[in-house]
Amino acid sequence: MVQCMNRMLKSSALPEPKTFDGTGEFKEFKRAFLLKYNHVTESDDELVAILEEKFLKGAAKSLFKTLPKRYERSIQSLFEEFEHKLRKRQGDSKIEALNEFEGLEKRSDQKMWEYLVEVEKWSRMAFPEVKQETLSQMRTTKLMKAARADETLHKMLIMKRFELSLEEQYDHLKDIVLQQENEQRRGNCQKGRYSEGWRERPKAENDGEKDVAEKESGENRYWMEQRCFSCGGVGHLARQCPPKPVQSVEVRGKGEAISNMSFTEGAGCVNKLFCKNNNILGLGSTFSRSELDKPVESALEPIDILPPDDVKREEVEAFSQFGIICENGTWYATKYPKVRYNHGGMVDFPPPFSQYDGKKSEIVFFVCAT
């Protein structure tokens, strides 16, 4: 009896282990869990139940549930197999991301901001544990290679590079490159307007005010379409944007698909997101980046988060509809009007969808679709 009381007192004095989601160091989690609970019960199946219900979530919980006969084996045996599967899964995703990053090259028809979104996305996935200084250098190498097509810009970047610390190089050089791209776009728009002017009909006296209004409207429209490469918003440039540590979120589709997306900003950065032209707005995530559990063990990674079927398309606004929040520079959805997973085709999660509200899913991309 006394020995049992001593074990309980010892356990209560130890801190609770943090919930494990498949990222971070598993050995530290295992050590903290066993220190806290190994002497609370002598039954391994009770330890498994405590582990599953309280301390595993997301991809880690789904992976643990795939272990065979987990209520009939020792906790040590389960931990060994789980650690092996976890290491293999993490290694496979890192290898894929590394191959994508190594093979990245800017296409001739690709805008620089689109290319750098890919660079940041794959470098973050391929090298999640490297220091910011090292990550900046790898991204800078890709940026400098892509800028070689413009000899003047490339020389300017080389000169500027020596004035910056290794950690700051990528962010500063990226801002220079993207501002240059904006200026070139503006110049092309102006040239197009001048060229069209030669073919205009003779102006009547009352056309003057109309031309001034059209010019002002065109310039306003141009500036409203400018994308800030600091926060990802539109209507202002990076040097005008207050600091906001939010990662780039992929916008799926090109050309018409992106033009169907409408951003409205508050305090310099995006706070409302709509789809235009009767397109429907959706979000994409994956089980490895979500607190949602797989409805079936054989479900594939992709998750689609959609508005309800009966909503009017023009009323779908992403931030309020999907409960979008920002934590530590990452966007998350926390509301699920409708959510689907890939099981040889997209399948609805078991209803009601409201039962999933409150769980976080990292937003991998936004998409506008018919």
Q: Are residues 66 and 83 in the same domain?
A: yes
Q: Are residues 86 and 161 in the same domain?
A: no
| 349 within a domain of the structure (yes/no) | yes
C-alpha span between 338 and 348 (Å, rounded): 8
Greater model confidence, 79 or 197: 79
pLDDT exceeds cutoff 80 at 249: no
Percent of the chain with pLDDT over 70: 67
Indicate the pairing of strand 361-362 with strand 250-251: unpaired
pLDDT exceeds cutoff 80 at 261: no
C-alpha span between 211 and 204 (Å, rounded): 11
| Residue carrying structure tokens 């987990």 | 70
Indicate the pairing of strand 250-251 with strand 365-369: parallel
Q: What is the mean pLDDT of the chain?
A: 75
Domain stops at, among 34, 66, 99: 99
> Structural domain tally of the chain?
3
Domain stops at, among 82, 99, 116: 99
pLDDT at 144 (0 to 100): 92
Contact present, 305 and 282 (Cβ < 8 Å): yes
Contact present, 39 and 14 (Cβ < 8 Å): no
Category of 52 on φ-ψ map: left (φ > 0), alpha (ψ -120 to 50) or beta: alpha
Q: Are residues 313 and 355 in the same domain?
A: yes
| 221 within a domain of the structure (yes/no) | no
Q: Are residues 84 and 128 in the same domain?
A: no
Domain that holds residue 159: 108-189
pLDDT at 307 (0 to 100): 87
Q: Are residues 130 and 82 in the same domain?
A: no
pLDDT band at 43 (very low <50, low <70, confident <90, very high): confident
Q: Is the peptide bond before 337 cis (omega within 30 degrees of 0)?
A: no
- Across 25-39, 49-63, 92-106, 326-340, least confident range: 92-106
CB-based burial of residue 239 (10 Å sphere; 0-12 exposed, 13-18 middle, 19+ buried)? Answer: exposed
pTM summary value: 0.36
Q: Give the residue among 290, 247, 284 at the shortest CA–CA distance from 22.
A: 290
Domain stops at, among 74, 99, 124: 99
C-alpha span between 75 and 38 (Å, rounded): 9
pLDDT band at 304 (very low <50, low <70, confident <90, very high): very high
Q: Are residues 49 and 119 in the same domain?
A: no
Q: Are residues 313 and 354 in the same domain?
A: yes
